[in-house]
Homo-oligomer: A and B are copies of this chain.
Amino acid sequence: MTISSRYAVAIHILSLLEINKEERITSDFIAGSVNTNPVVIRRIIGMLGKAGLVITNPGVAGAQLARPIDRITLLDVYRAVQSDPEEELFALHDNPNPQCPVGRNIQGALEGTFAQAQKAMEEELRKVTLQQIVHQVSQEP
């Protein structure tokens, strides 16, 4: 029922890349901050790369953000870490009984509402940029 912590980790990674952009930090270093295995980090950076948010070079540490941080939104990151980009937030049960009026129409009735709810959530994520997160993280003691 929850959105994978992979998302939170992705934001964590991007923040680290920004804050340490002068150095070249390794997946090992990032893993130390996130507190997980370096491979988990590399996998997520791979997704961020495919989504065009970071630029990486095989064998060389220090992925770079592909855009200025005020032009990367949390929605961009959310989309980037979705394994299946087609997948909707709300799951529908499959094969309800077409013989029954409810079974036949429930999917259509829910799709619209579910899409709207998902949209509302995504719009909130779109409003927040990485810059804001990095700012907050740097502010605190």
List chain A positions with a Cβ less than 8 A from chain B.
1-5, 7-9, 11-12, 15-16, 19, 32-36, 74, 82-83, 87-97, 100-106, 108-110, 113, 116-125, 128, 133, 136-140
Question: Is the beta-carbon distance between B89 and A3 smaller than 8 angstroms?
Answer: yes
Closest to A82 in B: B1
| CB proximity of A12 to chain B, nearest CB, Å | 5
Q: Which of B87, B93, B100 contacts A8 (CB 8 A)?
A: B93
How long is the Cα–Cα vector from A1 to B81 in the complex, in angstroms?
10
How long is the Cα–Cα vector from A96 to B13 in the complex, in angstroms?
11
Question: Is the beta-carbon distance between B109 and A117 smaller than 8 angstroms?
Answer: no
Residues of chain B with a CB closer than 8 A to A91's CB: 2-5, 7-8
Residues of chain B with a CB closer than 8 A to A9's CB: 93
Known: A36-B93, A117-B121, A121-B121. A137 touches B105 (CB 8 A): yes
Question: Is the beta-carbon distance between A96 and B5 smaller than 8 angstroms?
Answer: no
| CB proximity of A134 to chain B, nearest CB, Å | 9
Question: Is the beta-carbon distance between A35 and B102 smaller than 8 angstroms?
Answer: no
Known: A117-B124, A121-B117, A123-B120. A102 touches B1 (CB 8 A): no
| CB proximity of A138 to chain B, nearest CB, Å | 7
| CB proximity of A101 to chain B, nearest CB, Å | 7
Known: A95-B35, A106-B8, A109-B133. A90 touches B2 (CB 8 A): yes
